[in-house]
A and B are shown apart, each in its own frame.
Chain A
């Protein structure tokens, strides 16, 4: 009887200390440490032994899950970063403004042109004219099939705004449909030059300077 009692008390103490161990381990797991494992003197047939084994298994699978989640999170972050870069690229591609010749800017427009894009383009082009000190701008719309009437009007206004900045602006590559749109709208094209193609426009800008250069050499 007596011996039985002492084993029971021993057991109780052992049980308490085991529970304390379990709580400490769970606190570690809660804090993000998945490497802890419970060591148990109880056999697996004992309820506490089974509990310890169960908890160990749980911690292990939690750790795996955490690791996988971490991997996914990293992948996702990488993808988001890629998207952000692509977004930047798209924005830049939508208004490529390049200096094709000394002080001559060219804005080749391709794709679909809507009200937002045309407004962004105006903004970007006017800034570029000022920052580059360009004397001429060629807006090439060969790549545009259809344009809303209001957008066509906006383009002509954009050309005039470039004129206000002291540079001359030429529209090239207007297709028959857009030409009709412009005429139907009754848009005032005064002060806006047009050329059949980008090549013609560039030629008209470049040739006078060449001739001048040639004259200079002959008079010398």
Chain B
């Protein structure tokens, strides 16, 4: 992830992967949105990073597509707060701040809504945001 065009490449990679796994059309489109949100976040805040797309097979929950966004940016002060629409990891964002950041503050919220699991793990140099969407929605 170095360039705005890489977001488009990430979308295509995810679409191919999701289609190959048999996700329905709408789910593929949603996963593409997830891919763009995660990759734009890397470009905006992560300094440097990669987006990994992998298939996981959970014995209990079945097949899933997992997007791992690794970057070298600072850790989230609060990952839960960052997922609230219009908030960053510290709290609500002012309208002027949103315009300056070219966003709506709802990227991670969208990722949470369109995937089944969303976690953040610390890494030796930075962090990894891991979003997983199962082929069959797991029961809560």
Give chain A's interface residues, CB within 8 Å of chain B.
83, 86-87, 90-91, 112-120, 123, 145-151, 154, 177
A177 touches B5 (CB 8 A): no
B103 touches A115 (CB 8 A): yes
A to B contact number (C-beta, < 8 Å): 73
* Whole-angstrom CA separation of A50 from B42 in the bound complex: 57
B32 touches A119 (CB 8 A): no
* B39 smallest CB distance to A (angstroms): 9
Query: How many of chain B's residues touch chain A, expressed as a range?
Result: 20 to 34
> Which chain B residues numbered 80 to 132 have a C-beta less than 8 Å away from chain A?
85, 98-99, 102-107, 109-110, 113-114
Q: Which residues of A contact B98 (CB under 8 A)?
A: 119
Q: Provided the pairs A87-B4, A90-B4, A112-B32 are in contact, do residues A123 and B103 lie with their beta carbons within 8 angstroms?
A: no
> Which chain B residues numbered 19 to 57 have a C-beta less than 8 Å away from chain A?
25-26, 29-30, 32-33, 36-37, 40, 44
Q: Secondary structure at chain B's binding surface: helix, strand, loop or mixed? A: helix
A148 touches B110 (CB 8 A): yes
A151 touches B106 (CB 8 A): yes
A146 touches B33 (CB 8 A): yes
A113 touches B102 (CB 8 A): no
A114 touches B102 (CB 8 A): no
Q: Provided the pairs A114-B33, A116-B103 are in contact, do residues A150 and B110 lie with their beta carbons within 8 angstroms?
A: yes
* With A114-B33, A116-B37, A116-B44 already in contact, 20 other A-B pairs whose C-beta atoms are closer than 8 Å: A83-B5, A87-B4, A90-B8, A112-B32, A114-B107, A114-B110, A115-B106, A118-B104, A119-B99, A119-B102, A119-B104, A145-B25, A145-B26, A146-B33, A147-B33, A148-B33, A148-B113, A149-B113, A151-B106, A154-B106
